[in-house]
Amino acid sequence: MTGPRLFNVYCDESCHLEHDGVPVMAWGAITCPEGEVRAVAEAIRSLKAAHGLKPAFEAKWTKVSPAKAAFYLALIDLFLADDRLRFRGLVVPDKARLDHARFDQSHDDWYYKMYFTMLRPIFCAPHRYRIYLDVKDTRGGPKSRKLHDVLANSLLDFDRQTVDRVQQVRSHESELLQITDLLIGALTYANRGLATSPAKAAILERLRASLGQQALSRTSTFAATKFNILVWRAQEAAG
């Protein structure tokens, strides 16, 4: 039997606001054994240096461009090849279909339910997990505490032995959070059907070539542990 291990989980979200004019929203998380985080981060910094970038360069989806396409493709290849890294994501294709009043909930209530839905398959007894969230705004502190409460209650983890930490980190200080941002960006881009950037399209094709042509737009099978997503549709939940 495998003994208890500690995993770090780096979480981010995209287009999560209710009325931001973007139909697709997504959550995602990179999981890595805690003892391997430094080695993975050093490998990513070495990759940056090999492509003429400073170690402190913050990789993120909004920075993908033709000039840096080779670096971002190499970063995707690093993720795909590294067995220490796994990705779990959740995509809502059309948030205009949400009907919070019907379920007597606020958008914030639903947001935390989706966060738990995204994270739930990651957790496995007897292992322990530390959740790290990207700093986005001044609500980050209360959001971290609320998410920890939701996870503890949903998992019946009242002594917080399974999820022992939920805290904020700044994405420019975390290479693993930067990969999370990149993969969520790819998910959102693919599910919006965009074709505005050849460099971003190349990333989608690299992921599809390795994971399957429907990997970014269809709910993954249970056996898909490297890259696993749930495409959540409001009408399915309403049935």
Quick check: is 1 in a domain?
no
pTM for the model stands at 0.92
Residues near 211 by beta carbon (within 8 Å), at least 6 away in sequence: 80, 224, 226, 227
DSSP β-ladder status, 163-169 and 25-33: unpaired
Domain CATH for 63: 3.30.420.10
DSSP string, 31-59: EEEGGGHHHHHHHHHHHHHHTT--TT---
> If you average pLDDT over residues 10-30, what whole number do you get?
81
Give the residue among 224, 202, 184, 197 at the shortest CA–CA distance from 60.
184
pLDDT digits over 52-80, tens only?
Answer: 999 999 999 999 999 999 999 999 999 99
Say whether pLDDT at 174 is over 90.
Answer: yes
Helices 175-191, 198-211: inter-axial angle, 10-degree rounding: 100
Say whether pLDDT at 154 is over 90.
Answer: yes
- Give the pLDDT score at 137: 58
- Give the pLDDT score at 239: 34
- Give the pLDDT score at 237: 45
Domain around 13? 6-238
Number of domains in the chain: 1
Contact yes or no for 100/107 (Cβ under 8 A)? yes
Classify residue 88 as exposed, middle or buried by CB count within 10 Å of its CB (0-12, 13-18, 19+).
buried
Residue that is written with structure tokens 């989980």 in the block = 9
> If you average pLDDT over residues 43-47, what whole number do you get?
98
Say whether pLDDT at 17 is over 70.
Answer: no
Say whether pLDDT at 98 is over 80.
Answer: no
Say whether pLDDT at 91 is over 50.
Answer: yes
Contact yes or no for 227/76 (Cβ under 8 A)? no
Look at 5-9, 99-103, 163-167 and tell me which has the smallest mean pLDDT: 99-103
Say whether pLDDT at 16 is over 70.
Answer: no
From the centroid of its chain, how far is CA 216?
13
Mean pLDDT of the chain: 90
Contact yes or no for 180/29 (Cβ under 8 A)? yes
